[in-house]
Homo-oligomer: A and B are copies of this chain.
Amino acid sequence: MADPIDFYFDFASPYGYFASLRIDELARAHGCRVTWHPILLGAIFKVTGMKPNLEQPLRGEYLSHDVGRIARLIGAPFTLPDSAPVNGVAASRAFYWLADDQPEQAKALARALYHAHFAEGRDIGPADTVAEIAVQALAGAVGDRAAVLAALGNPTVKDRLRAETEQAVARGVFGSPFVLVGNEPFWGWDRLDMVDRWLSNGGW
């Protein structure tokens, strides 16, 4: 049985968005199971001393140019939202609310949130917006907006996001996207081809 894949990403990360468009297909080609893990890089940057890419002189300008270039290359709908880097707390909590009981619905929601943000340019920071997207994307499966908003304030859901982010740090995750194949770490959208090769060869 192939090693399972853990796919870590921050909803604020355009490179995480690009990776989300490919990771499941890549895993399927190798018979691997993928578990998605939204995390909060802001909390991880307190450990590493890094800053959001967009806020770094030179690197921020490079990123703004690079993401449009990648979108054209892979044919992904894309805009760099005015709200970037967005606060991914509400989006991530909505994901974990569903993750255990309805993992496919949770992935569908993550895709819908990423699409709203990076394809449509919407600000997915506000809980209201996340609730609206969840109701629309998942139809009856999540109840109405009030049900989603209640879930986002649920202490269990809040603790889960904190625990997932801590667990990510414990496994060495420091950026987005970050892919673990078993315990083999790959940082960055740039490395998906390497992940593919690693899975083909069983490492090297």
Contact = CB atoms under 8 A, between A and B. Distances in A.
Interface of A: 44, 47-51, 56-59, 61-62, 65-66, 69, 72-73, 169, 172-175, 185, 187-188, 190-191, 193-194, 197, 204
A89 to B, nearest CB: 21
A56 B62 contact: no
B49 A174 contact: no
A172 B61 contact: yes
A174 to B, nearest CB: 4
Nearest to A47: B57
Main secondary structure of the interface of A (DSSP, over half): helix
A204 B188 CA distance: 21
Q: What 5 A-B pairs come out closest when comparing CB atoms?
A: A190-B190, A58-B174, A59-B174, A48-B57, A48-B56
B48 A49 contact: no
B56 A50 contact: yes
A61 to B, nearest CB: 6
Contacts of A49: 51, 56-57
A48 B57 CA distance: 5
A175 to B, nearest CB: 8
A185 B65 contact: yes
A56 B49 CA distance: 7
Given A49-B57, A50-B56, A57-B174, 16 more contacts: A44-B58, A48-B56, A48-B57, A49-B56, A58-B174, A59-B175, A62-B174, A62-B187, A66-B187, A69-B204, A73-B194, A73-B197, A73-B204, A188-B190, A190-B190, A190-B191
